Structure 1
Amino acid sequence: MDPVRYRILGTTQALRPDGTVVPVGGARLRALLTVLALRAGRTVPVRLLVDEVWDGEPPADATGALQALVGRLRRALGADAVASDDGGYRLTATADDIDLHRFERLAGEGLRALSDGDPAKAGLVLDDALALWRGPA
């Protein structure tokens, strides 16, 4: 099965393999997806997720609220999209499934091409990186 792609360079979105947008409604749900996508493939501790999603003002039952939010995200993206790990959660995506990480990789390739004296290649690769941004960079 092809992976879901994630966009966080602009409004947070998830895209199915055919390019259709997966509805990820609500600011907190998008915040959770963003925090997980920033650390793709790595477990994000519950405490950090709560701090980031609720911007330092967590609800009384923060753990329960986070569990409910993760459940909603799994329903939107698929049960396997978010894994439970010791003390946290992990987005089961590769770095290349997330536009930010592709941007960083392409920007690095572009800079290497420039330092190698290949401005034409650098221009192409850096244009590809910039095209990942939606809205003002």
Structure 2
Amino acid sequence: MTREVIIPPTGLLSHRPYSPAIKIDSLLFVSGHTGSDPVTRVFSGDVTEQTEQAFRNIESVIEAAGGVMADIAKATVFMTDMEADFQAMNVVFRRVFPEKPPARSTVGVAHLARPGLKVEIEVVAVLGSSR
């Protein structure tokens, strides 16, 4: 069994006290990602844009590990306002995973790491499973 820290070319999260992802053999455990741009740390107030950016951030980590988004087996979505934002998040989720979506849990939370963040997504992928 091999354990490897995965850091995408952007250096996304490399300054944090945790790894963007940990790869153990073909399993990839991706830390939670928000809708913040990895370079500027700026994010939109809109849940649609935040969800899209979170998935772009996740995709950069998965690709750095040699995988693709279709390798995602499980997603956990954390949202600060399920009532107002759940449907908009679902629209993006369906667009990212048009066929064979991963298993998913969605959890309402009071706050995320920074004020104004509406969504955070973490995933587990099995690299090569979509081929």
**TM band (smaller chain):** 0.3 to 0.5
Determine which structure has the larger strand proportion and give its number: 2
How high is the TM-score relative to the length of structure 2? Answer: 0.33
Greater relative contact order, per chain length (Cα 8 Å cut-off, separation 6+): 2
TM-score (normalised: structure 1):
0.32
